[in-house]
Amino acid sequence: MTRRVSPRRTDRLSRVGEQIRRELSDILSRELRDPRVRRVSLTDVEVSPDYAHAVVFFSCLEAAQVPEVTAGLQRASGFLRSQLARRVKLYATPNLRFVYDESIERGDRLSRLIDGLHDPTGG
């Protein structure tokens, strides 16, 4: 039997996720000194219903940098979590898990395919 989450609770989860995304982006740009995570954009945060876990989706300019960036973010997750606890008042600060967001890359690839269909040279 699956547990249902009320729409009101879902709204709160999305608002909390957005707040976490904003705060983490600010911490990454202003306080974190690791050069591996300098050019990272946080695209979304999904928070579990009990606020114990948060999946942070990120993108970077080059797909080849993903393993290095992921390692840098995981290494900094304790620092990021402690800074987040100071900024966002929740019962419990969620554990952070970082996942590369492939949606931007996939969207770009689809856009190029569509552009290729409209290309009069057939290329």
103-113: per-residue pLDDT in tens? 777 777 777 77
pLDDT, residue 60, reads 87
Mean pLDDT across the chain: 85
What's the whole-number mean pLDDT along residues 49-75?
91
**Res 24 pLDDT > 80:** yes
pLDDT, residue 111, reads 76
Instruction: Kindly write down the DSSP assignment for every residue of 18-82, as one continuous string.
Output: HHHHHHHHHHHHHT---GGGTTEEEEEEEE-TTSSEEEEEEEES-GGGHHHHHHHHHHTHHHHHH
What's the whole-number mean pLDDT along residues 31-44?
89
What's the whole-number mean pLDDT along residues 52-74?
91
Q: Are strands 40-47 and 53-60 parallel, antiparallel or unpaired?
A: antiparallel
Architecture of domain 7-118: 2-Layer Sandwich (3.30)
Percentage of residues in the chain having pLDDT higher than 70: 88
What are the boundaries of each domain within the chain? 7-118
What's the whole-number mean pLDDT along residues 56-64?
87
pLDDT, residue 1, reads 44
> Is the model more confident about 120 or about 107?
107
Q: Look at phi and psi of residue 82 and say left if phi exceeds 0, alpha if psi is from -120 to 50, else beta.
A: alpha
What's the whole-number mean pLDDT along residues 92-102?
91
